[in-house]
Every structure is written in C-alpha cells, then in structure tokens.
C-alpha cells in the first residue's frame, strides 16, 4: 500500500437468510405409493415437470421408484399424489424429498391425508356383456382418431397369439421385445403391456378364468424383472403397478364396462383421450387381455 493512501473498506457480506419454511398442503395418494411415502425420508429429484404433473425419482432400489405429483385436472396415475392446486416454479433436476408421510418439492410440503385403491377388484362379470364387449371395444377404438403407436404386426401380433393360446413361450418372448419400444415417458410397448396385464388379472378373476390370472402372473414377472434397465423410470414404475393390477381410473372404468357394471362406450372414449398414443395403446392391451380371457374360458 503506498504511503498516504487509506485502505479501502471491504464490502459487507450479505446477511444469510434462513431457508423459507415450506408451505403445508394436503393431498390424496394411491395406495401403490404408500410404502414409499411411509418409509424414512429420502432424497429425490424432479425427472420431468409439466403444468399438471411432476415426476419425482426417489433414490431407492425398490418400487415405486417414481412418484407422480398431479393436479385434479391430470390423469390420476396409479403412482400419483393428487393436489388441489399446481406446484409452481419447479424444473427438471430440482431436489425433492419423499417419506415420513409427505412429499417436499417446490417450497411445498404435501401431507397425505387420504388414500385410494388403484386396483379395485371387479365384481363377477356378466357373461352376456362380457361376450359382447370385444365388438363394442373394437368399434369404439376404430371410430376414434387416436391410433396406437406401434404397427400391429411383429411383437404385438406374437403377443396376441401367445395370450389367446395361453402360451408362455410366445407371450413372454413378445413381451420382452415390447418393453421400452416407442418414444416418450411411457413408450407404446409399455402402455400395451400395462393394459394387457391389468385386463388379464382383473377380468380373469371376474370371469372365473384362473388360467388368465396365471398368465398375468408369469407375464408380470418377466416384464418387471429388468424393466428399470429397459425403459424410462416413469414407465418402469407404471409396469410394476400394472403387474399388481393397479391402473388409472380410465383403465379400471373400461374394465368395469367390459364386465357389465357400467356403460362401456363412454369409458372407452375417456381412455382413448389420454396422451398422444397412451390411451390407444392401453385400450389395445385391454382388448388383447379380454380376448385372451374369453379364449381361455372356452378352452378351459
């Protein structure tokens, strides 16, 4: 420092502020995510953020690996926590926490107060309505402008033949080809498999066709064995849900319609409106499962 000069005063460091306390809100959650929400608190990260839904990936080796935080306007996925409002200012890569009965993300602490069952059992199916359902479902799908994301040949055709015949070899071979096939958070092949698994399990039980449930068990084991390494994290979790018979209300509504417990056509139209191809792919899988249940019942 030169003689006669005065030392400069250092700029005062800004006072550190304590982190803002989270705002507490209530939510309703699927019973499928209850193990994750009631486990010890664990870190998570935001995989994807949309206006009506956030997808949180938990740092865990067990399923559910992804929890969806959705508004009441969004599809109530079987791995969802539903809020009355939106979570603002959240981007992919942001930190979150899941566990001890809550989800913390975007300055909110979401306390789960209510639960719903994503796999409600079907009452026994009406045999007449069940037999007529393939035609009604097929006509509703054909009339829709929504089309599946996959060509009907190849693995989908092999899967359908295998299920109709109750063949484990063909069914599992085709299912393994379909995992992760197609673009998006939930590839078309996964959506088709999810619809098939749920239909085989619930319609098989409702129609008294244990071989369909047996086929669902084996397919579920094959599909979930390495789903996490074969498809997106969101889709892998949804496949695990489907393996247990868990689905969105749009899918379970179609199953109730097929079993004769509510009008089928409006339920199919609600399902077909989901996503770009997800609804059409799920409906395709449900139709495939229904056809297999009827074929296995006749061959019993």
Phi first, then psi: what are they for 270, rounded to 5°?
-65, -40
pLDDT over threshold 60, residue 24: yes
Mean pLDDT of the chain: 91
Mean pLDDT of 4-18: 46
Residue 14 scores a pLDDT above 60: no
pLDDT at 20: 61
CA distance 34 to 278: 25
pLDDT for residue 1: 41
CA distances from 136 to 225, 253, 257 (A): 34, 14, 10
136-146: b (≥16 Cβ within 10 Å) or e = bbeebbeebeb
226-240 pLDDT per residue, tens: 898 999 999 999 999
| Each residue's pLDDT tens digit, 107-136 | 999 999 999 999 999 999 999 999 999 999
Q: What is the mean pLDDT of residues 273-296?
A: 95
Q: How confident is the model at residue 22 (pLDDT cuts 50, 70, 90)?
A: confident
- Helix 188-206 vs helix 155-165: angle between axes, to the nearest 10 degrees? 10
Q: Give the pLDDT confidence score for residue 184 in this predicted structure.
A: 80
Per-residue pLDDT at 299: 75
CA distances from residue 170 to 177, 180, 217, 276 in whole angstroms, order as listed: 11, 18, 15, 29
Kindly report, residue by residue over 151-178, the tens digit of the pLDDT.
889 999 999 999 999 999 999 999 999 9
Neighbours of 173 (CB within 10 A): 15
Q: What is the pLDDT of residue 5?
A: 43
pLDDT digits (tens, 9 = 90+) for 68-117: 999 999 999 999 999 988 888 999 999 999 999 999 999 999 999 999 99
User: Who wins on pLDDT, 151 or 252?
Assistant: 252
pLDDT at 18 over 50: no
């Amino acid at each position: 420092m030169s003689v006669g000069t005065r030392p400069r005063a250092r700029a005062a460091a800004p006072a550190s502020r304590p982190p803002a306390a989270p705002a507490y809100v209530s939510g309703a959650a699927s019973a499928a995510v209850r193990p994750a929400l009631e486990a010890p608190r664990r870190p998570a990260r935001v995989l994807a953020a949309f206006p009506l839904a956030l997808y949180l990936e938990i740092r865990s080796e067990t399923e559910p690996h992804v929890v969806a935080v959705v508004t009441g306007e969004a599809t109530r996925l079987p791995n969802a926590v539903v809020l009355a409002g939106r979570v603002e200012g959240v981007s992919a890569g942001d930190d979150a926490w899941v566990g001890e009965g809550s989800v913390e993300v975007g300055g909110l602490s979401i306390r789960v107060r209510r639960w719903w069952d994503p796999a409600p059992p079907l009452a026994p199916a009406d045999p007449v309505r069940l037999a007529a359902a393939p035609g009604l479902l097929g006509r509703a799908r054909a009339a829709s402008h929504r089309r599946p994301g996959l060509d009907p040949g190849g693995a989908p055709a092999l899967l359908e033949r295998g299920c109709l015949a109750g063949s484990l070899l063909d069914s599992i071979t085709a299912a393994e080809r379909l995992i992760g096939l197609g673009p998006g958070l939930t590839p078309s092949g996964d959506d088709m498999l999810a619809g098939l698994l749920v239909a085989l399990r619930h319609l098989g039980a409702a129609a008294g066709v244990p071989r369909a449930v047996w086929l669902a068990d084996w397919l579920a084991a094959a599909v979930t064995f390495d789903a996490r390494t074969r498809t997106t994290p969101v889709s892998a979790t949804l496949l695990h849900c489907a393996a247990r018979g868990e689905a969105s209300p749009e899918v379970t509504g179609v199953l109730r319609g097929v079993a004769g417990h509510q009008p089928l056509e409006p339920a199919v139209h609600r399902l077909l409106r989901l996503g770009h191809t997800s609804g059409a792919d799920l409906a395709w899988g449900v139709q495939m499962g229904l056809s297999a249940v009827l074929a296995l019942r006749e061959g019993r």
